[in-house]
Structure 1
């Protein structure tokens, strides 16, 4: 068995490209080998700022031989008077076989010529010579560049190439105009700690040779090393830190030989909000902050940076990093003090000069729309005067910090500084907190707003964004969603569910669409319908993907092309969630199976009648004088017993009593269909037939209070 090493040496690569390249090679190289009928014992992909590498072990020396059966021309066309025709001779030549090897076999379309062709496997040295350039130049990334006078494109200039098949260099040449890179066994060590070249004797010695050159090529090993060193460093300071996943993911691809360095800054900067300091450290300087205590957000005047330099020069490295962060913190201190000179409300006028969207005007106009939306939500929730005023005040101030000096310099702090400045300006605590929370969730892993005022402003803001962008016709298509409208809609549904907010989303969409249409001369009905369809899809996705509800049960509560169910879902998001969760529960415990056949059989037959699906009162549509058998009266009595359970379920959204009543009615309905006293529903007498269909329609309608059972798959 053979082992193969490829190393592509470059100028310093962006961390994001290294991470992406490792991921792409891990997926593509195994697929590439499989396409060439090659199997490997292991495939290890490595990456550092100056190199990408793959080590493939346990390879065969060549592809396996392949025997193919190839269909040729019809026998009638291949031979004439017992002699091969030009068609036969051409086929034989193309396949590299003799006419004598032809086999004539019958097929559905007549007799055809077949040949068996043995193709010898190619040596892997030949195959890899073709594959390596493909692996390199098929890598995708942002801002690929050209260099020199050639057309070669890569993230950074390629400076060396190692290709070893066991201990033999596989000759490969990358030509980039006058700049030619030839493969060799010569790699390069750490730029500072081992600037000399490294000679790699065999493919499998790669990791150890590079380690001797102070290069840790395995990203997972660097991750462990960085984590351990950072934790040890903060413990030596008597503090703690948070290993931010995004920061760690970036740092591991910025260093080849990591060493944690402790730095410090002046304690006076600790008077800044913690979020300002951590943003400077984490986002802008890629440092790990040091906190006091396990759960405290109070900082120590220290930081941990992960150096790619000489550990013996740690103090010099720390001083250099301290100078940089000192300047950034001094900027933050200046911005913070200048912003606090005036109350937050004073910044509102500046929002008139900030554009929200070209066709939608300024952020100040958006703030007004958010306020209108917040008022509608407060009205739906029947809030008192205090909570309503808090919500309207938070809506007015929620974007004010966008024009503060701090947020202008550090956009990541929008909302964060709004809360700080609101509190310093004497605003109510609920108002200040809502300014921060209305941006939540910022990403998929973020928390949702926890306070009622924060939930209201988050809904109001996101509803405005959705309505406004939809109103311009910029509806997301495919994977394109530049305004993150799917995320906004998901957030609206999840905030409603998490806060158990009794809002009528359908009514809100209609009212907000009308307001937008009047202001911007758009069609309100079309806009509302587009938003309804969009939200229904988000509810469907959230129920299936996040709540793990079976797809058919989701269809049962949302309806398939059933506007009645669709509108009911948007009118009461809490109810549609509760019904879906409850359906999944009774499927799991076996209760659904007990009532499924009863309800579904009735539903199928009831479709042949014309009873309105909203009808629940038997006395209005069933004539007892038309009963011919006892089973009809028993069925009717069961419906009378179902009625209070249905009404209770509609009021309380507690469907247990309804399902229990349906379960109790199942034997009665079964006897109606199949018992000794069963009836023929489709009676020749149209009045009797209609009466019996109405009985079934009423049972269907009672069940529809919970779900459309026609959408449920019996044995899913």
Structure 2
């Protein structure tokens, strides 16, 4: 008879950002274990709160599914002697499988006859296997772990209880000295100990103790509470799914309430107010139906609605202190000029080997100025870009950014406007930090994009040159994220600039770094490889296969948009049967070109019409290809290369390249090598696994 299984591990409060991923891991690891263990069940559901992770498996079979396995033994010619009797090899094989020679049958495998037996793997009782659940729980990975007492287990938080039931029976195991039982715990302050006779009624029993174990239900309770508040107060609460999930994972029994603050604080920048509420207090800001920020907030209590007005007043008092500090910082900051803060940058170390932030700003300004020239910006836009680079970090020493670090750039824009800077300059100060996270918003203005690229390249090139190369999950300077941001900006703005030229421009700004020649070369190689890995990551996000990525990155990285267009084009053509003759011809040329480095071709040495035709076609195609290449038309460039296909086939049909005549051989190899150079300029087509797609 099938029984339900319930396993819950109780912990000290988990960080909110750990909860969802930990619950998902528990669910997937349980599913995988059940499948690997051949244990049948009808359904499975996971649960989580800040203090617990749980999984309930319904109608679990009491035994593993038995398995019939076919086992291959030695070849028949070894298993039988000339008289047809079974040898020791055969009897030893069958004995090892718990069978006899009477159970042997034969099958052909790739032209050779082998002996086989079938054996039954009888399923064990599920009850005997369930203690392995301790391995599932301890295998959950967290972003940060800790040890406690004298235990060796590294886990996000100390284990406080474990409830594990198979029907009415406790599943026996322990973790860090905590033994399983049939007891769990309700809300830390409102609940009590809960003893379950079986997994049935788990959710309801804990809800009676002020714990909503279903995170989706908790989330919906918060949403419903916010909708009720909107209807009662006539305001709107802007959607913020990340904050909603964070709050959901901070509480076990959510109750929504409304608070307010003095309307005089609305004179502060809106980002300061929302940051104070969201980042520091986990409150939801409130707006009017016209989109204006109001002097209200919505928050969530971890508990019931008892004395909710008192709770609201307490939260209002905390927020008032925050906003009072913010107002003081804002007013004090306005008393100083931009130049005052720029001077302070010369006393803030960016990195020991890379100097101060003031040094960094000078490098970024020089890079941004040259980029502006490369992009042929008009004088006014170039001047705005350079000014934005000069002041892009001036807000870092301000009181406001010191208190609200994630407002760097945003405060810079506000202060720059207050100081009389042009709106384009101020906007670029804010945008140069974008994208702030993977998949985040990119700069919208050309000034912001240039300063963003210059700043990020300075950090990447400088840090890697100083030996600060990301490894594994360690990337303290966020170099991977910043490199991805640079590449996405190049793509979106479609700059006709190669990645190599941008890296060389940035490296020149570090000309005075104390690096030996060998170290400098190692740094350049490391920087190049680092960006190739980032491009590979982006192309994989675009669903480009590894062999195509290898093909387009075989030589230079080049212009980002053009390289990505080549990758898309080759991904499409590799599945086109009509392109097969083209790829065969071009790859044949690439394979043969590896035998020579000769380039000089002489018409006077040609002996056949087919080699003359190939050379003339090459000359025509070369001009058309370079024109398409200059226009970055990936499709047209490949079509031009395709025009070489038939002449190449004719050439190989009517000529022996490796002829005994040395002069003819060298001339033909030089012709092949010239054509190969044109193909390689597009991509290393020999790297693409064409045949598996036809």
Please report the TM-score for the alignment, with normalisation by the length of structure 1: 0.82
Shift of 1:436: 0.9
Q: Deviation of residue 700 (structure 1)? A: 3.1
Aligned equivalent of 1:465? 459
* Cα distance in 2 for residues equivalent to 1:65 and 1:583: 49
Residue 211 of structure 2 corresponds to 215
**1:10 positional shift:** 4.7
Deviations 1:667-713 (A, max 9, x none): 34433333xxx333333333333333344344334434433333333
After TM superposition, the structure 1 = structure 2 runs for residues 448-463 of structure 1, keeping only pairs within 5 Å, are 448-463=442-457
Output one character per residue of 1:459-481: Cα deviation in whole Å (capped at 9) or x when no partner. 11111111221122222233432
**Structure 1: distance between partners of 2:403 and 2:547:** 50
Could you say if the C-alpha distance between residues 251 and 552 of structure 1 is closer, same or farther in structure 2, counting changes exceeding 3 Å? Answer: same
What's the TM-score, normalizing by structure 2?
0.85
Match of residue 281 from structure 1: 277
Q: CA deviation at 1:509?
A: 2.6
Distance 1:632 1:120, change over 3 A: closer
Contact 2:222–2:256 (CA under 8 A) maintained in structure 1: yes
> What SS class does the counterpart of residue 518 from structure 1 fall into?
coil
Query: What residue is the counterpart of 2:85 in the other structure?
Result: none
Query: Superposition pairs for residues 467-616 of structure 1, below 5 Å?
Result: 467-523=461-517, 524-542=520-538, 544-559=539-554, 565-566=555-556, 569-570=557-558, 572-587=559-574, 592-593=579-580, 595-612=582-599
SS in 1 for 2:320: helix
Cα distance between partner residues in 2 of 1:45 and 1:140: 16
Distance apart, 1:283 and its partner CA = 1.0
How far off its partner does 1:122 sit?
4.5
Unmatched 5+ stretches in structure 2: 74-91, 107-115
How well do the aligned residues superpose, as a CA RMSD in angstroms? 3.9
1:304 equivalent in alignment to 2:298:
yes
| CA-CA distance at 1:135 after TM superposition | 4.4
Distance apart, 1:51 and its partner CA: 3.0
CA deviations on 1:261-307 (whole Å, 9 max, x unpaired) are 2222222111111111111111111111122347x4x3122211122
1:621 to 578, 585, 601: 601
Residue 488 of structure 1: how far off its partner (Å): 1.8
CA pair 558-445 structure 1, distance change in 2 beyond 3 A: closer
Q: Deviations 1:105-150 (Å, cap 9, x if unpaired)?
A: 999xxxxxx999988654433433x335444455454354536x98
For residues 197-346 of structure 1, the aligned pairs below 5 Å read 197-293=193-289, 296=291, 298-346=292-340
Equivalence map 1:138-217=2 (5 Å)? 138-141=139-142, 142-144=144-146, 146=148, 160-170=161-171, 176=177, 183-184=181-182, 186-191=183-188, 195-217=191-213
The alignment of Structure 1 onto Structure 2 pairs a total of residues equal to 666
1:369-388 equivalences in 2 (<5 Å): 369-388=363-382
Q: Distance in 2 between matches of 1:144 and 1:320?
A: 33
Identify which of 618, 629, 633 aligns with 1:654: 633
CA distance in 2, matches of 1:151, 1:579: 52
Secondary structure of residue in 2 paired with 1:53: strand
Q: Distance in 2 between matches of 1:315 and 1:398?
A: 45
Deviations 1:608-633 (A, max 9, x none): 44433xxxxxxx7231x444333334
How far does the alpha carbon of each residue in 1:67-98 deviate from its partner, in whole angstroms, 9 at most, with x for none? 899999xxxxxxxxxxxxxxxxxx9xx9999x
Q: Distance in 1 between matches of 2:244 and 2:349?
A: 35
How far the C-alpha of 1:199 sits from its partner, in A, is: 4.2
Deviation (angstroms), 1:423: 0.9
Q: Which secondary structure does the structure 2 equivalent of 1:419 belong to?
A: helix
Partner secondary structure for residue 462 of structure 1: helix
Q: Which consecutive residues of structure 1, in runs of 5 or more, have no partner in the other structure?
A: 73-90, 108-113, 560-564, 613-619
Q: Which residue of 2 aligns with 1:644?
A: 623
Q: Is the 8 A contact 1:163 1:183 kept in 2?
A: yes
**Could you tell me whether the CA contact under 8 Å between 1:172 and 1:183 is conserved in 2?**
no
Q: Offset at 1:516? A: 2.0
Deviates more, 1:219-228 or 1:59-68: 59-68
Q: Match for residue 84 of structure 1?
A: none
Q: 2:129 aligns with which of 115, 127, 130?
A: 127
Q: Does 1:703 pair with 2:679? A: yes
Within 2, Cα distance between the matches of 1:426 and 1:609? 65
Alpha-carbon deviation of 1:408? 0.6
